[in-house]
Structure 1
């Protein structure tokens, strides 16, 4: 199986020039561990297994774990209404929005980046410079006074703004900055020793720069394309090893009790995919009544991330890329091999 996975990866990498790191583990056994291309193209510093990568929305799972921890501690409930757990005024939001709605993307609130209005994520920063976006509260002017997009609970509509609000709830309830809470209560407990919420203008060593490639062969980094510091909707940096540690800690109930781990991994709402569901911060793919995989993903300019846990085989996959594309193709090839051996 190990050789088959590597052969599949090699074939796809040759086609899409994948840049990043890949780790596939079954339990504690490494099936594949390989890196390609450069973390820093100008200095020709190669990507390595210990390289830290941005994972964009992949870290919504961290936010959901944080909320579940606070619920388990009795400081909050999933049915607590937004207006009762966050001291921020939203004059046009429905008063029935709950924490559960925010976690499952069913709140109906507007997003700060509306794909129906804007075609390019960078358009956000024309009026609001990205270098000023360093705290969760900095996002509030982008959404606070907007009208509702949908009726509460009407349907699943992926929404970054909802996770900004969840991060603000974590801050208010815990009295800690969001990043500090996650690093203390999730990263430390899961042995994610090299992960963190780093600022673009103060990156630690071994951090990959994100690259945006153009058709003519030129490129630029993504430093002017994203908020200077990530938050509760996305933007943390991890290594592939740290991400497999996160899956281990979650599945083995080291971050939450078994009861609350199960709540997080419950498929609450159907997504736009026929076999797709969403739990709390995690995508779930089912076949009949069997869960094929729990997975998370992230897409940003210069960031491409996929990671999954396959419960039938206990296999974990992590694909981190510092380009805008490529991780999905790698993930699908690895998955073919995993599912061929488990069905």
Structure 2
């Protein structure tokens, strides 16, 4: 599709959905779209721009997976290392066979601190544990460390945030750094992601989008009371759309991990459903037995993030939104236009 036609189509999707955020798309070395809409700050009418920083929720589980793989590459850990040997915290009901591999692939069976079978509103978490107390990974532990296992380690795939908190604690233990310091030094700086970081919601830097929760009557509120003050190893970093493009390029150029370890990350290790699998920190869509695309996704109140990486077409799309919905419809339409439309 010609670039001018693509941009017009994106404009029409934005008008239909009132999308608020940034879109950044490349095919090969060709920049296909770089567009921003809506307000980073509605009250002050500060517009979103290409260098606006957005929360990406679970989209940054990939950072945790890369960090773990770096430590394994250095020989300081292994995929078969057991949780009970890596951390000294008490987990009275946890399976003694839980490994790093289980945690990476959501097959550990540990209780999830946000269990969608029990609650469907993320804000319910902060009734007993105020979100303003959650500033370190260790602060998440009381939410799940004394709960019963969901199933035996390795029995099945079930998406799990607690497992990634545990991985972050392992990173801290092995590296001697705080989780956020490790990621910012060994991933963000190495990838040139100089505008990204694990910022605290009550001390956000300039050009950071506030997250908005919209209601059906046209009113809205910010998400400052909906999320932990500082994100953890399961989600909560702030990035620019261009920085996320740099992450993918750095990963596939083997700047963050060697080729063997990168391929392990990008290999399907667990299946959620037919055609959709999980590697290490990244979703993988399978079509006719071949890898069709890699996916990163993040959903929080006031946060919506999607990134698609299609290796055969060398197509990379990043969509960051500072509302609870919108990114999926936008990225799906762009993907359809670039892959299946000839006009």
TM-score by length of 1: 0.97
2:27 matched to 1:5?
no
For 2:17 and 2:337, how far apart are their aligned partners in 1? Answer: 19
Counterparts of 2:332 and 2:197 in 1: how far apart (Å)? 27
1:211-250 maps to which residues of 2 (within 5 A)?
211-250=212-251
Secondary structure of residue in 2 paired with 1:263:
helix
SS in 2 for 1:188: helix
What is the distance in 2 between the residues matched to 1:232 and 1:249?
Answer: 20
Could you tell me how far 1:27 is from its partner in structure 2? Answer: 2.9
After TM superposition, the structure 1 stretch with the greater mean CA deviation from structure 2, 79-88 or 59-68, is 79-88
Residue in 1 that maps onto 2:99:
98
Q: Distance in 1 between matches of 2:250 and 2:239?
A: 15
Deviation at 1:339, TM superposition (A): 2.9
Give SS of 2:332's match: helix
How much has 1:341 moved relative to structure 2? 6.8
Count of paired positions: 341
2: distance between equivalents of 1:119 and 1:265? 30
Q: Which moved more, 1:23-32 or 1:132-141?
A: 23-32
Tell me how far apart the structure 2 counterparts of residues 298 and 17 of structure 1 sit (CA, whole Å).
19
1:330 corresponds to? 330
Matched, 1:121 2:131: no
The alignment status of 1:308 with 2:308, answered yes or no, reads yes
Whole-angstrom CA distance in 2 between matches of 1:189 and 1:113: 32
The reply on whether 1:318 has 2:300 as its aligned counterpart is: no
Q: CA deviation at 1:86?
A: 1.3
Report deviation, 1:43. Answer: 0.3
Aligned-partner Cα distance in 1 for 2:189–2:128: 37
SS in 1 for 2:191: coil
Which has the larger displacement, 141-150 or 287-296? 287-296
Stretches of structure 2 that go unaligned for 5 or more consecutive residues are none
Is 1:57 the counterpart of 2:58 in the alignment?
yes
The CA deviation string for residues 158-211 of structure 1, in whole angstroms up to 9 with x for no partner, is 000000000000000000000000000000010001000000110000000000
Mapped contact 1:306–1:318 kept (Cα < 8 A) = yes
Deviates more, 1:262-271 or 1:283-292: 283-292
- Cα distance in structure 1, aligned partners of 2:201 and 2:44: 18
Residue 3 of structure 1: CA displacement? 3.2
Q: Write the distance in 2 (CA, Å) between the matches of 1:283 and 1:334.
A: 19
Give the CA deviation at 1:298.
0.1
1:150 to 1:5, Cα distance in 2 relative to 1, 3 A: farther
- For 1:42, the equivalent position in structure 2 comes to 43
TM-score (norm 2): 0.97
Q: Is the 8 A contact 1:190 1:245 kept in 2?
A: yes
Give yes or no for contact 1:4–1:337 (8 Å, CA) kept in 2.
no
The answer on 1:260 being equivalent to 2:257 is no
CA distance in 2 between counterparts of 1:315 and 1:189 reads 23
Kept after mapping to 2: 8 A contact 1:297/1:307: yes
> What's the CA shift for 1:87?
1.5
Computed over aligned residues only, the root mean square deviation of the Cα atoms, in angstroms, reads 1.1
Matched position secondary structure for 1:259: helix
How far, CA to CA, are the matches of 1:157 and 1:114 in structure 2? 10
